[in-house]
Amino acid sequence: MKQASLKKIYAVVVLALICGCYPRANWKKDYDYKSLRTFAVAKMDSPENYASAGGAVRDMISKYLIESGIKVVDSAVFDKMLLHTDMKSDAIFAQIGGLAGADAILDGSVFRCQEEKEERVYYTGTDGKLGYETAFYNAKVDITLRLIDVKTGEIVWVNSDSYESFDIRHTMESAVYTTMRPLKKLLLN
């Protein structure tokens, strides 16, 4: 009886892990992703508590694209062109991306960025003495990315993912990798 219950619990845990780790990518099925050779990476929105997260994720995305053999438009050029517009819309992104020489634009946001931390929890033991335990909290990053076609202004691919690990840099890099991996498959396979 106990073994059957343990198997059920194990099955539920495994299913929860699989569902929780499944990428949330959605894409336009009839789009020609292989024709995209040059990308602009837009400035990422960041949470207030970690304002530099968007810039760090943007740089990591550019690095990932370049390592994959995809050209990336200089972000300074793209940003300067965006400064001269009052609106932030997919159509404006598309026009500016095209002028900057990109085939597509990657835009998105970092909607959670929590650094790793260590805390001491103090307590009074049954013997009346003060004691403590150290609690460790992993870094957590949640990002959402979307791919915008510069010719049409249409969003053709979207993905979001979360990652948790021991330090913030590894966590960000892994979040970018797991979020970008489905797009890389569309671009290169």
Domain definitions of the chain by residue range: 26-188
Q: What is the pLDDT of residue 19?
A: 46
Q: What is the DSSP string of the chain?
A: -HHHHHHHHHHHHHHHHHHHHS---EE-TT--GGG--EEEEPPPB--GGGTTHHHHHHHHHHHHHHHTT-EE--HHHHHHHHHT-S---HHHHHHHHHHTT-SEEEEEEEEEEE--EEEEEEEE-TTS-EEEEEEEE-EEEEEEEEEEETTT--EEEEEEEEEEESSHHHHHHHHHHHHHHHHHHHHH-
Band of pLDDT at residue 8, cut at 50, 70 and 90: low
Taking only the tens place, the pLDDT of each residue in 149-160 is 999 989 999 999
Q: What is the pLDDT of residue 75?
A: 86
Q: What is the pLDDT of residue 104?
A: 94
Q: What is the pLDDT of residue 17?
A: 44
Band of pLDDT at residue 10, cut at 50, 70 and 90: low
Band of pLDDT at residue 2, cut at 50, 70 and 90: low
**52-81: average pLDDT:** 91
Q: What is the pLDDT of residue 7?
A: 55
Q: What is the pLDDT of residue 5?
A: 56
Band of pLDDT at residue 71, cut at 50, 70 and 90: very high
Q: What is the pLDDT of residue 32?
A: 96
Greater confidence (166 vs 110) lies with: 110
Q: Is residue 99 pLDDT above 50, yes or no?
A: yes
Q: What is the pLDDT of residue 81?
A: 82
CATH of 26-188 among 3.40.50.10610, 3.30.160.100, 3.90.650.10, 3.40.50.300: 3.40.50.10610
Taking only the tens place, the pLDDT of each residue in 126-145 is 898 888 888 788 889 999 99
